[in-house]
Each structure stands twice: as structure tokens, then as C-alpha cells.
């Protein structure tokens, strides 16, 4: 599987940071990752309660429901991370 160009080259710079980072290193940059975790916890919990709250309250948790809950948290984490990296992407020039 090919790695997208955005993640292979030094294409991202954090505000106030002197060095450019590749996408993989940018994912581990704590201000981006920490914010994405907070967004995932807040938005993911709200969506999980809306979508799976009745199942959890009835006590009928299955592997399928647990995997849906994990994906419910993964989506806002991914969107937050992607938007932070896209907003701070270096443009070739």
C-alpha cells in the first residue's frame, strides 16, 4: 500500500515551530494529538449516547456494538487531526 505524499514529505509546520515535519511525525505532535483526543472524547461520547445509549442501558453489549462505539470515537479524532494538519500544511513554492 502506498503512503500518501502528504505523509511522506516534510509538509507540515506547527505555528511557532521552527522545523517542518512529515505527516507521521505531525500525528505525534502533542498539541495536535491532545486536541484531537479532547474532540474525540466530547463528540464521540455525545454520538455514542445518541446512537448506542439504549443498547448500553439495556445491557445487550455485543462485539459488533463495541466495534461501532470504537469507530464512533475514531471518526472525530481522525477529522480533528486531518483538519489541523490540512490547516497548517506547507505549500510548495
Instruction: With beta carbons less than 8 A apart as the criterion, state whether 7 and 22 touch.
Output: yes
Q: In this predicted model, what pLDDT tens digit does every residue of 34-89 receive, in sequence order?
A: 999 999 999 999 999 999 999 999 999 999 999 999 999 999 999 998 888 887 77
Domain ranges of the chain: 20-87
Q: In this predicted model, what pLDDT tens digit does every residue of 9-36 receive, in sequence order?
A: 456 666 666 666 666 676 777 888 899 9
Q: C-alpha angle 27/30/34, rounded to 5°?
A: 95
Instruction: With beta carbons less than 8 A apart as the criterion, state whether 37 and 25 touch.
Output: no
The DSSP code sequence of 8-75 is HSEEE--TT-SS-EEHHHHHT-HHHHHHHHHHHHHHHHHHHHHHHHHHHHHT---HHHHHHHHHHHHH
Amino acid at each position: 500500500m502506498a503512503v500518501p505524499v502528504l505523509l511522506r514529505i516534510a509538509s507540515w509546520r506547527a505555528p511557532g515551530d521552527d522545523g517542518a515535519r512529515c505527516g507521521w511525525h505531525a500525528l505525534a505532535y502533542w498539541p495536535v494529538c491532545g486536541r484531537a483526543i479532547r474532540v474525540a472524547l466530547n463528540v464521540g461520547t455525545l454520538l455514542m449516547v445518541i446512537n448506542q445509549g439504549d443498547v448500553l442501558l439495556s445491557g445487550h453489549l455485543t462485539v459488533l456494538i463495541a466495534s461501532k462505539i470504537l469507530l464512533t470515537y475514531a471518526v472525530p479524532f481522525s477529522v480533528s487531526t486531518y483538519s489541523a494538519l490540512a490547516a497548517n500544511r506547507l505549500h510548495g513554492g
